[in-house]
Amino acid sequence: MSMNTKQADSAFIANTYGRFDVVLARGQGATYTDEEGRRYIDMGSGIAVNTFGACDPGWVAAVTAQLNTLGHVSNLYYSAPQAELARMLCERTGMKKVFFGNSGAEANECALKVARKYGSDRSGGTRHVIITLKNSFHGRTIATLAATGQEKFHQHFGPFPEGFRYVEAGDVSALEEALAPGDVCAVLMEMIQGEGGVNVLDKNYVLEAQRLCRAHDALLMVDEVQTGNGRTGKLYAYMYYGIEPDVVTTAKGLAGGLPMGACLMGERAENVLGRGDHGSTFGGNPVCAAGAVHVISRLTDEFLSEVAEKGQAIRQELLQAHGVKAVSGMGLMLGIATEKPAAPVAAGCLRDGLMVLTAKDKVRLLPPLNISFDEIKQGIAILKKNL
Ligand SMILES: Cc1ncc(COP(=O)(O)O)c(C=O)c1O
């Protein structure tokens, strides 16, 4: 029986995704073409993954060179791209050690394990509570769902591992109160809640969170799965806040289109995990690591300031546009509160040749970081038409 892509998808793929009605066939940079030859400007990057858009020649060369040299090796052996990537990440952040996994959820799973072991090492198991923020998103595994401070994700999948406490973002006294029982080993937060609606955390709140974590000997852990790797105009969004987190997790754009997650550990956390405490078959494999080495090496200060500049240009355009109530976010991670509901705006944009995302009730833009000013202009014109 011959089936087209949409038919085979509906017949054989688990029903977990609501898809836009398009089969993408090829892409170059921020421009894609579907099976019927229609063109689209991409302002979603595969949800913040394709750092340099589709089929970036430098990235493709770095990845294929590695594939042609040595593909997968297990973590029972050393491999140069993984070690090189860890060195680059530590040098650029001041963090001390890195554990590699394959996704954002896995990066966060590692962070949760680091937090629990940190607490257990210091208290013999009585300090195991991890505080996260309401409206956060940390992943789809059972533990990262438990960490996610949104009721709707908890439906149907319980019981969850215990030991998570949720506090209102931005409320210092709520955080103080949640730390008070003395049973907390870590606080985990996104600097910008991506899935939660592109909500930027207040700087003073984050500084206070750091002070409180230090005072209570709890680890400050930052989830940079979506905000990381140049997305906001800094290598990591926490760098805007003047904090030194104990743990930073990242994934999505790290390897520029290949699955990779990383859990970076600072001075207080670097020796928490010991031999045999954690592992991953694919984590840090040479091909993904080579992609990530290429990505990180291109995220220079000059490139990052261009990301910030592009973000500013889009923001200015949109703030003057009809139908826009507010624009949130930083760099090329933007949330647009629209007068019309976000979902039909996104659907209309797609019909007119622009891929955008939504987050809660906002239109969300996460374009490839190397999108051209001309592509921005074309994309924003389509967006404005649909607002
Ligand atoms: C902040 C944050 N953390 C974790 C995740 C989970 O990442 P993954 O889908 O790669 O497991 C996401 C995904 O959207 C995210 O935005």
Q: Are 340 and 202 in contact (CB under 8 A)?
A: no
Extract the tokens encoding 186.
């870590």
Structure tokens at 301: 């200060």
Q: Residue 123 Cα, ligand 1 centroid: separation in angstroms?
A: 30
pLDDT at 125: 79
Distance of CA 293 to the CA centre of its chain: 17
Residue with tokens 């500084």: 207
End-to-end CA distance of the chain: 43
CA of 240 to the centre of ligand 1 (A): 21
Pair (240, 91) in one structural domain: yes
Q: How far is the CA of 143 from the centre of ligand 1 (A)?
A: 13
Task: Give the domain range for residue 14.
Answer: 5-56+301-386
Q: Where are the beta strands (DSSP E) in the chain?
A: 24-28, 31-34, 39-42, 97-101, 129-133, 164-167, 184-189, 192-193, 199-200, 219-223, 247-250, 261-265, 324-330, 333-338, 354-355, 357-359, 362-365
* pLDDT on residue 28: 97
Is residue 133 located within the same domain as residue 226? yes
Tally the domains of the chain.
Answer: 2
Tell me the CATH number at 51. 3.90.1150.10
Residues 282 and 318 in one domain: no
Report helix, strand or coil for 256: coil
Catalytic entry in 52, 99, 137, 153: 137
Ligand 1 first shell, C-beta below 6 A: 103-105, 108, 137-139, 190, 194-195, 223, 225-226, 251
Instruction: Give the residues across from 249 on adjacent strands.
Output: 223, 263
**131-184 pLDDT per residue, tens:** 999 999 999 999 999 999 999 999 999 999 999 999 999 999 999 999 999 999
Rounded to the nearest 5°, which phi and psi values hold at 98? -130, 140
Let me know: does 224 contact 236? Beta carbons within 8 Å.
yes
Active site residue 223: yes
pTM of the model: 0.98
pLDDT tens track for 214-265 = 999 999 999 999 999 999 999 999 999 999 999 999 999 999 999 999 999 9
Grouping H, G, I as helix, E, B as strand and the rest as coil, residue 19 is: coil
Cβ(261)–Cβ(250) under 8 Å? yes
| Tens digit of pLDDT at every position of the chain (387 positions) | 689 999 999 999 999 999 999 999 999 999 999 999 999 999 999 999 999 999 999 999 999 999 999 999 999 999 999 999 999 999 999 999 999 999 999 999 999 999 999 999 998 878 999 999 999 999 999 999 999 999 999 999 999 999 999 999 999 999 999 999 999 999 999 999 999 999 999 999 999 999 999 999 999 999 999 999 999 999 999 999 999 999 999 999 999 999 999 999 999 999 999 999 999 999 999 999 999 999 999 999 999 999 999 999 999 999 999 999 999 999 999 999 999 999 999 999 999 999 999 999 999 999 999 999 999 999 999 999 999
Q: Helix 203-215 and helix 172-179: axis angle, to 10°? A: 20
Whether 63 maps to a domain, the answer reads no
Among residues 298, 325, 352, the one where a domain terminates is: 298
User: 147-173: string of b/e by CB count within 10 Å (b at 16+)?
Assistant: bbbbeebeeeeeeeeebbbbbebbebe
Ligand 1: which atom is nearest the Cα of residue 194?
A: 16
- For the CA of 108, the closest atom of ligand 1 is 4
Secondary structure of 330-382 in HEC code, one letter for each residue: ECCEEEEEECCCHHHHHHHHHHCCEECEEECCEEEECCCCCCCHHHHHHHHHH
252: annotated active-site residue: yes
Residue 72, SS3 per DSSP = coil
Would you say residue 62 lies in a domain?
A: no
**CB atoms < 10 A from the CB of 34, how many?**
17
Of 298, 332, 357, the domain-final residue: 298
Strands in 127-260 per DSSP E: 129-133, 164-167, 184-189, 192-193, 199-200, 219-223, 247-250
**Domain identity same for 91 and 49:** no
